[in-house]
Chain A
Amino acid sequence: MSRPGFVLEVDERTPALLIHEGEGFRLEKLPLGSRVVYPPESLPAIRDLDARIRDALLNPLGCEPLPSLLRAGMRLTIVFDDLSIPLPPMRTPDIRQRVIEHVLELAAAAGVDDVELIAGNALHRRMTPAELKRTVGERVYRSFFPRHLRNHDAEDRANLLEVGTTKHGEVVEINKRAATSDLIVYVNVTLTAMSGGPKSVSVGLASYRSLKHHHNVHTLRHSRSFNDPPNSAMHHSYDRMAGVLDEHVKIFQIETTVNNDTFPSQLGFLNKREWEWSLKDQASYLAVKRANDLTPVKRRRQIWHRTAAPYGITSVTAGAPADVHQVTLGHVLRQQLTEVNGAADIGIWGLPYICPYNVNSIMNPILMMSLGLGYFFNLYRGQPMVRPGGVAIYYHPVRNEFHPVHHPSYIDFYEEVLAETTDPVAIETKYEEQFANDPWYIHLYRNSYAYHGVHPLYMWYWGAHALEHLGQVIVVGGDRRTTARMGFRAASTLDDALEMAREKVGSSPSITYLHAPPLTMADVR
């Protein structure tokens, strides 16, 4: 029986609590009266996964069983989520591999031979062959790569098709092969309430022309939060686009959810509540922390990025996207949602080493901002964890380091754009077009493994809601110059950070710390 999430109130009996900090973590004694939001304990995984997948495919929601949708001579396109999900990457065999193998078996049985697999990476970087192999498995890779297994190319004008326009004037333009298929089977992993559902095809296979309708400052500021689809302007836009897509193409959506087994058993103490740490947990905490601190930065990064999460799958649902997504969201919230009473003056978030856009890569300062002020800040339902004008405290070293192959446009964004202004609206007005249409960035996106030129700006917009909402952002342990460039302040300890926050929130503020990872969503009343 896994225990529900709850809000701890720090009292004299509470030991120091664990806070993640990039490729590392620390124990911090929070002031008395601080509240800490703990996620529900990890739900048990489905034991017979293959049976469950088969069952889902044969008994989908809202449409006929998959075998009856498959017939010889049809064009079938299987689209799957790219490597930005789940985080950290799950242990092989990946769930997508298993689902795709099942689907391909059914397709082969029905005599389908025009099958293409496309990674739904939108404006993310292309996946390397090794990464593709890890996701779809050796068998599928060998049978389909390179001619029938590829990444989506959002800048390949010849292979994009404008499917229609929503009644708000939003252009829906997606990958041509998918748009002209008889059936799209989308294999999804829904890690947070933001992904899946209408987002899968309409965003994963889209082009810049389509994406700019919802990936902009205005929409993101009106997504409160973007992990809460009913209250998210972004998701309303996705729904409209999905509506247009439904009229033109048939989508069979297969969604899966994972539990909260984020860390391998050697790091089991990261998944446990601190006052329940046994002596063994404490010893391994000390040993791991020491070893980690003594390892040089590059090696540390390699080690952390090589860990795979022992995620268990908690649900597999298939069928019509809207019906499936309702069920999936239920599972996600069951695993992540915790009720919190009221917003606080100060919110604390410990940022881990990985975000969707630095898998096998380096977390640069802009990604830190999007992880902290974007993803983690928006892990709420109702109202943000911090009151308007409150202070956010993040833990992360914010090193001034960029991956030159994966994030070339980020480097220029940091050096040139942020040096001039950090206001998302000003950035959008002055720079978005340049970055989106720069031929060199497009060249690198299409031929190298780089994120699209406009991607760093999207990352900045991701935190636009938070930037508008918060009074101040302080980064504990952050590099001074880098944080100053982004408009934040740096503190070396929590006490200094609270001291700095005093101007905004007074000397006895209420504090809430979101104890994530593992992923937690605060339902703030």
Chain B
Amino acid sequence: MGLMREVRVLTAGRDWRGRSRTPRSAAAHQPPEEPYEFPTGWARTTAARVARRGLQRGVLTPLTWSTTKPQVEGRELLDSVTGPVVLVANHASHLDTPLILGSLPERMAKRVAVGAAADYFFDARWRAAVTALVFNAFPVERYRSRRLRSLAPRLLANGWSLLLFPEGTRSEDGWMAPMRMGAAQLCVTQGVAAVPVVLRGTYAAMPRGRNWPVPGRPRVVVRYGAPLHPAEGESARAFNTRLGQAVAFPLVARSRRPASPAPGPAARASLSVATCAQPRTG
């Protein structure tokens, strides 16, 4: 059985995907790794959209709503939104995305793509596939060494709203980190509005390190702000500052409920306002 023997010789030392380990002495001469972008286009096809709707409505949203007690405010401000927008939110927990997706108006929720960290969510193929399917995620490079051309402008052009977390990572300590320029630049260059979304209580509900919300159905707040349009000739930096303020200090009546993150020292230094910090009530 010459063929069987051939196959055996060929596959000895190679894994199930046909990849061989690099011998030690060849390690120094490995070719540079090609940056690989996980294709997410398939997740925006009709079939995938249908499946996603089912997953979100049937599994994700009920699960989220049952393990926490969300309070949604400012939804009416989104009535005036037509066309794609960039939703900009603070990020403290993995709960953030399900909460937003579950609380958006139906028409917007259907056309939202979530920017997810390429190095975390799109690292392993299976995780990438699941994230793309369930959340309609697309990869965003957060460490500039391997710059991929971002999908974001194209998605906006195709009518998809984007959900971005400009802090770039979940909060370490509950306080907000400075917002990166990407979202603001996107709005300015593409000429779309940004909708600030403020999430309160998610850090306490399921901080970094936890894979499940704390028991006892903690209260969380999702507050939508009025869409901000970049002004004529406004620079991205200036727009970013405005956005930052909007997220940190929403101009909507606050709830007296607990656990709201105050702007961190850096943000505070760059802002010029007074009374915004919510007292921590126990």
Contact = CB atoms under 8 A, between A and B. Distances in A.
B26 A6 contact: yes
Interface in B1-33: 2-3, 6-7, 9-14, 17-18, 20-26, 28-29, 31
Contacts of B20: 13, 15, 274-277
B7 to A, nearest CB: 7
Contact of B9 (A8, A27, A290): A27
B23 A282 contact: no
A9 interface: yes
Given A3-B29, A279-B17, A13 B10 contact: no
A290 B5 CA distance: 11
Given A278-B18, A279-B18, A286-B6, A13 B29 contact: no
Chain A, interface size category, equals 20 to 34
Contact of A14 (B2, B10, B18, B23): B23
Interface in A5-55: 6-11, 13-16, 27, 29
A164 interface: no
Given A8-B26, A273-B26, A275-B22, A16 B12 contact: yes
Contact of B25 (A9, A27, A29): A9
Contact of B21 (A7, A8, A13): A13
A289 B7 CA distance: 11
Interface string A261-295: 00000000000011111110010011001100100
A9 B10 contact: no
Contact of B24 (A13, A274, A279, A293): A13
Contact of B12 (A11, A15, A290): A15
Contact of B6 (A277, A279, A289): A289
Q: Which of B11, B12, B13 has the most CB of A within 10 A?
A: B13
B23 A13 contact: yes
Contacts of A16: 9-10, 12-13
A276 B31 contact: yes
Nearest to B32: A1
Nearest to A14: B23
Interface string B71-90: 00000000000000000000
B23 A8 contact: yes
A280 to B, nearest CB: 9
A286 B23 contact: no
A13 B20 CA distance: 8
Nearest to A16: B9
Contacts of B11: 282
User: Taking each of B9, B12, B23, B28, which has the highest tally of chain A beta carbons within 10 Å of its own beta carbon?
Assistant: B23
Interface string B19-51: 011111110110100000000000000000000
A4 B12 contact: no
B10 A286 contact: yes
Contacts of B2: 290, 293
A9 B13 contact: no
A274 to B, nearest CB: 7
B150 to A, nearest CB: 27
Contacts of A4: 29
B31 A29 contact: no
A157 to B, nearest CB: 56
B6 A15 contact: no
A273, A279, A289, most chain B CB atoms within 10 A:
A273
Interface string B264-275: 000000000000
Contacts of B26: 6, 8, 273, 275
B244 to A, nearest CB: 42
Contacts of B22: 13, 275
A15 B31 contact: no
A260 to B, nearest CB: 15
Most chain A CB inside 10 Å of its own CB: which residue of B3, B11, B18: B18
A27 B10 contact: yes
B23 A11 contact: yes
A29 B12 contact: yes
Contacts of A3: 29, 31
A290 B3 contact: yes
A6 B25 contact: yes
A6 B23 CA distance: 12
B13 A14 contact: yes
B13 to A, nearest CB: 4
Contacts of A10: 23
A386 B20 CA distance: 30
Interface in A385-399: none
Nearest to B13: A15
Nearest to A275: B20
B31 A13 contact: no
A6 B18 CA distance: 24
A11 B25 contact: yes
Which of B2, B22, B25 is packed against the most chain A CB atoms within 10 Å?
A: B25
Contacts of A7: 25
Contact of B7 (A9, A14, A29, A286): A286
Contacts of A293: 2
A201 to B, nearest CB: 40
Contacts of B10: 15-16, 27, 282, 285-286
- Select the residue from B9, B12, B14, B26 with max chain A CB neighbours within 10 A: B26
Interface in B157-172: none
A238 B22 CA distance: 45
A437 to B, nearest CB: 49
A282 B20 CA distance: 11
A15 B7 CA distance: 12
A11 B25 CA distance: 9
B146 to A, nearest CB: 17
Interface in A149-170: none
B73 to A, nearest CB: 53
Nearest to A4: B29
B50 to A, nearest CB: 32
A262 B82 CA distance: 60
B18 A9 contact: no
Contacts of B14: 15, 282
B16 to A, nearest CB: 11
A310 to B, nearest CB: 20
B196 to A, nearest CB: 46
A6 B24 CA distance: 12
Contact of A9 (B6, B9, B24): B24
A103 B18 CA distance: 51
Nearest to B2: A293
Contacts of A11: 23-25
A7 B29 CA distance: 10
A171 to B, nearest CB: 49
Contacts of A13: 13, 20-24
A265 B146 CA distance: 29
17 contacts: A6-B25, A6-B28, A9-B23, A9-B24, A11-B24, A14-B23, A15-B12, A15-B20, A16-B9, A16-B13, A27-B10, A275-B23, A277-B18, A277-B20, A279-B18, A282-B18, A285-B10
Given A3-B31, A274-B20, 4 more contacts: A3-B29, A9-B24, A27-B10, A285-B10
- Give me the 6 closest cross-chain CB pairs, A-B, nearest first: A279-B18, A275-B20, A13-B21, A15-B13, A9-B25, A14-B23
